[in-house]
Amino acid sequence: MMRLVRYGGLLVFSLALLLSTPSRGFSVSSSEIENNLMCDCGCGQLLGTCECERAEAMRAMIRGMIDEGKTKEEILNSFVSQYGESILSAPPKKGFNLVAYVLPFVGLVVGVVVAVVFVRKWAFSGRKEASDEGAAGRADLDDELQRKIDDELKKIEEE
Amino acid sequence: MVNFGNLSQVFAFIFSLASMALILTGLMKNDARFLESGRRTLYGLALFTTLASFALGYLFVTDNFQVEYVASYSDRALPMFYKVTAFWAGQKGSLLFWAWVLSIVTAIVVRNTRTELKSRNTPYIYLVLATTLSFFLFLLTSVSNPFDLLDFIPRDGQGLNPMLQNPGMIFHPPTLFFGYIGFTVPFAYAISAMVVGRLDETWLRKTRRWNILSWVFLTIGIIIGGQWAYVELGWGGYWAWDPVENASFIPWLIATAFIHTAIIQERRNIMKVWNMVLIVLTFVFCLFGTYLVRSGVLQSVHDFGATGLGGYFLVFITVVLFGGIYLIAESYNDLRSKHTLESYLSRESTFLFNNVLFLAIAFSTLFGTIFPLISEAVTGNKLTVSQPFFNQVNTPLFLILLLLTGICPLIGWRKASADNLKKNFLFPALTALAGAVVLFIAGIRQFYPLAAFSLSIFVAVTIFNEFKGGTIARSRMTGESPLTAFPRLIYRMRRRYGGYIVHLGLVIIVVGITGSSAFKLETQGTLSKGESIKIGAYELRYDDFRGYRDRNRDIYAATLSVFKDGKPAGTITPERRYYVNAEKPTTEVSLRSTLVEDLYVIMPEISPDREITLKVTVNPLLAWIWIGGTLMVLGGIMAILPNRKKKGAL
């Protein structure tokens, strides 16, 4: 069971990381870059969203750089060198920032493992309780009877 | 009226302290007279907060600009409608609104428990409510008083932020506040249960309606907030993962997890510790949401009035959090139930995993929200964490959650047999698979949209099966026709089917979000009269331009004829507005909304010779987000409709 949990966790973790990686396009559009940058006016909005004069000036800079044939990375780096990393709408995936990307999935895996451990423990207690009750002299139930009881219980609960 | 409001507020604070003192004395002396007096004092408190609130409303309506708060958020030209809603436009009014609503909620609880004063829990419930009220009234009377006066009388006020001059202002802040405030009641019941050691499921049963009602209000607040952002901010989106949006979403996620596990405790008397943890966290994050809205610690589009109350809120939140943790630790042995599950595969265990997912999303949202502060503290590096980060991290988590939304109802309580699984899973899974193939052939090749649509089909089919199975069973049992059996089944088992309707609403929202984000079209262009701009199947022709004055704003509107596939499809009129007292002009979105797609047009620029710059967006399936949200709310309301025969607990 623990092996299953470990492999499951690893699978979820790898999948999440894989899915978290943005796909790379070949052509650069202005709006694609605008969504990777924040407006500089202090409004807290994405560049593509803000309508202030600062935003318009920044958009004009982007269009100019696209016309010059610069790549997305080059344009973003140019803004970072001018305004600092806080101009990016998401932290770059490097150094300490990786914590932000990885920790939620680590949290998920830890949560799943803890849940599995508890479910396992409770299910074990449940089985033990059932076997104790059986040993205490209750009549053994064949599968058919057990199913009927389960069905009746289900009906009662649904009501 | 200023003095009247001030005095009412002071009296309310005195009454809250008096109520606490009387209840504590009653508890210490074991004297019911003190408890009764403390209880009645809470009615008085509600009366005085009501009077203070009416006083503030009156000051807004009568343009009393000597009141600093009124001068900051209103002006003479503001329409009456918005003068009233300006009440909660800033920090001070929001706090008074909080205190007012909480005092009314407290009065309702006091009235509904009037025969239960001898129960050991009840005085502690009052005590928690009175303490929370005392905190807010302390802030109002000593730190953030909405009745503070200026040294002079300004000729006019500074006006209301144009973005707040939207019908959303009536519903969005109050409903969110109702949601936040509502969770004070289950929190108070949980705390009292731990203090007196009555740790069975009674507190959950008694607060079930408060839980769901608060959840419904939070849901309404979030949905209306999204709709407001969509029509007001002019960027074609509805959710920006802004810190304040996140602050409302986190308690919603935790409360949703709590509502699920509360069902398990009610049915199986397990997960008692976990439910206590969840309700304490829900309340803590409701306070955190209120704190974050205007604390100014994080950059937000909601920074309409930061007044630096952060320190007080942080102290209160810390007390609530550590007090809750202490009580849970103290009660741990009593809370620990004899946990037994009959099988790994049971609805109980899948609910536990759904809880893990809810909390993982809440955690990632919280962590992303405060990561700029963490990063700055650790590395000294200032960062921004916005939409692209949250979309990347949360989307896979949401997809797993959606899968679980489909799986949970398929697995029976206690123990699921292989036959049961096969019977329940096969058809929905095959339908989803077939749907995925069809969508793939139709050209949807991106992973996320394909996964989201396929999982939506899976969940929708499982819900449909539940409705179908229930209707057939009832029809057989009662002899009713399916058409009669269906509504009767839903009404008779409204708690269960209300839950399914909420799930169905969620599926519809997922479809709307997926369609509008993955297949969105955008274009921008500058037009002279007679020129056109094309986007997808649409062509927009610039026909006319006019400027006029309307109440507190000058409006410049362009009229454009819309053609879809070459056929006339009406007109749209994006506007640019110059509000009195506003620094910057605002854009007014023009929207042509259908169930298939929204045509969304804003006009960011107008040149002197009336050339207009347009930003045009086509958002497929977006209207389904509002439809799904409405269904979620209706499902939630249905789940708490009272029985005709039995009286509700509260």
Residue at B443 is within a domain: yes
pLDDT digits (tens, 9 = 90+) for B75-103: 888 888 888 888 888 888 888 999 999 99
Q: Which two tokens stand for residue B406?
A: 């489909």
The pLDDT of residue A18 is 43
pLDDT in tens, B105-149: 999 999 998 888 778 889 999 999 999 999 999 999 988 899 989
Question: In the structure encoding, which two tokens stand for residue B436, read together?
Answer: 């995925």
> Can you read off the two tokens belonging to residue B260?
């699920």
Query: Which pLDDT band holds residue B650 (cuts at 50, 70, 90)?
Result: very low
Q: Are B337 and B461 in a shared domain?
A: no
Q: Domain segments of chain A: what residues?
A: 22-95
For A106-128, the pLDDT digits (tens) are: 988 998 898 888 888 777 666 66
CA angle B196, B199, B203 (to 5 degrees): 95
CB contact A125 to B (< 8 Å): yes
- Rounded to a whole number of angstroms, the CA Rg of chain A reads 28
* Cβ contact B520:B617 at 8 Å: yes
Measured CA distances, B260 to A117, B185, B255, B640, B650 (Å): 20, 18, 9, 14, 20
| B339–A121 CB contact, under 8 Å | yes
Which of B379, B394, B604 is closest, CB to CB, to A96?
B379
B389 contacts A45? CB cut-off 8 A: no
3-state secondary structure of B567: strand
Query: Are residues A100 and B371, on separate chains, in Cβ contact within 8 Å?
Result: yes
Q: How far apart are CA B377 and CA B399, in angstroms?
A: 33
- Residue A119 has its nearest CB partner, among B237, B349, B382, at B349
B70 shares a domain with B27: yes
Q: Do residues B171 and B283 share a domain?
A: yes
- Please tell me the predicted confidence (pLDDT) of residue B542: 92
- pLDDT per position as a tens digit, A29-71: 777 788 888 888 777 778 887 777 788 888 888 888 888 888 8
Query: In sequence order, which residues have a C-beta less than 8 Å from that of residue B251 and are 6 or more positions away?
Result: B179, B180, B183, B218, B282, B285, B286, B288, B289
Work out the average pLDDT over B229-236.
Answer: 76
Q: Which residues of B176-202 are buried (b: 16+ CB within 10 A; e: fewer)?
A: bbbbbbbbbbbbbbbbbbbbeeebebe
Phi, psi of A104 (to 5 degrees): -55, -40
Residue B7 has pLDDT above 50, yes or no: yes
User: Does the distance separating the beta carbons of A44 and B299 come in below 8 Å?
Assistant: yes
Burial state string for B27-60 with b = 16 or more CB within 10 A and e = fewer than 16: beeeeeebbebbbebbebbbbbbbbbbebbbebb
Helix/strand/coil for B97: helix
Angle at B528 between CA A28 and CA B601, to 5 degrees: 55
B620, B610 Cβ separation under 8 angstroms: no
- Mutate one of B253, B295, B341 to test the A interface: name it (highest A CB count within 10 A): B341
Q: Do B339 and B431 belong to one domain?
A: no
B467 in reach of chain A (CB within 8 A): no
**For position A21, what pLDDT does the model report?**
44
Average pLDDT over residues B394-400: 91
The model's pLDDT over B43-80, given as tens digits with 9 standing for 90+, comes to 999 999 999 999 999 999 999 898 989 998 888 888 88
User: What is the mean predicted confidence (pLDDT) over B518-542?
Assistant: 90
The stretches of chain A forming alpha helices (DSSP H) are 2-20, 30-34, 53-67, 72-83, 98-135, 143-158
Predicted pLDDT at A139? 44
Provide the token pair at B500: 């399914």
Residues A31, A37, A41, A44: is their CA dihedral positive or negative? positive
pLDDT score of B298 more than 50: yes
Instruction: Report the share of chain B in percent with pLDDT over 70.
Output: 94
Stretch B400-411: mean pLDDT, rounded?
86
pLDDT band at residue B514, thresholds of 50, 70 and 90? very high
- B291-322 per-residue burial string, b: 16 or more CB within 10 A, e: under 16: bbbbbbbbbbbbbbbbeebeebbeebbeebbe
Give domain status of residue B646, yes or no.
no
Domain that holds residue B459: 417-518
B251/B284 Cα distance (integer angstroms): 8
Domain boundary pick from B149, B165, B181: B165
Query: In chain B, how many domains are there?
Result: 4
**Do residues B379 and B452 touch, judged by C-beta distance below 8 A?**
no
Task: Name the more confident of A125 and B314.
Answer: B314
Contact list in B for residue A101 (CB cut-off 8 A) is 389, 392-393
Whether B338 sits inside 8 A of A35 (CB atoms) is no
Q: With 70 as the cut, is the pLDDT of residue A133 above it?
A: no
- Same domain for B313 and B194: yes
Interface of A with B in 64-123 (CB under 8 A): 84-91, 95-97, 100-101, 103-105, 107-108, 111-112, 114-115, 118-123
Residue B273 vs residue B336, higher pLDDT: B273
Is A35–B387 a contact, with Cβ atoms under 8 angstroms apart? Answer: yes
- Range from B38-42, B325-329, B414-418 carrying the lowest mean pLDDT: B414-418
Residue B53: its pLDDT value, please?
Answer: 95
Considering the domain architecture, whether residues B474 and B565 belong to the same structural domain is answered as no
CA of B396: how far to CAs of A36, A105, B3, B399, B402, in Å? 20, 10, 55, 5, 10
Task: Please tell me whether residues B229 and B350 are part of one structural domain.
Answer: yes
Considering the domain architecture, whether residues B343 and B211 belong to the same structural domain is answered as yes
Identify the domain boundary among B384, B414, B444: B414
Asked if residue A24 has pLDDT above 50, the reply is no
Specify the pTM. 0.86
Would B636 be classed as within a structural domain? no
In a domain, B630, yes or no: no
The residue of chain A with its CA nearest to that of B244 is A44
Q: What is the mean pLDDT of chain B?
A: 87
Whole-number pLDDT of residue B157 = 83
Task: Convert the pLDDT of each residue in B349-385 to its tens digit.
Answer: 888 888 999 999 999 999 998 888 888 888 888 788 8
Tell me which H or E stretch contains B24. helix B2-29
Q: Are residues B170 and B289 in the same domain?
A: yes
DSSP string, B177-205: HHHHHHTHHHHHHHHHHHHHT--STHHHH
Residues B9 and B134: their CA atoms lie apart, in Å, by: 11
| Residue A38: strand, helix, or coil | strand
Mean pLDDT of A84-94: 86
> Six-digit token pair at A100?
């932000």
**Same domain for B213 and B134?**
no
- Check if B382 contacts A (Cβ < 8 Å): yes
Question: Where among B518, B539, B568 does a domain terminate?
Answer: B518
Name every chain B residue with its beta carbon within 8 A of the beta carbon of A45: 233, 235, 240, 301
Same domain, B131 and B199: no
Burial of B226-260, coded b for 16+ CB within 10 Å and e otherwise, reads bbbbbbbbbbbbbbbbbbbbbbbbbbbbbbbbbbb
Class of domain A22-95: mainly alpha
CA distance B199 to B193: 6
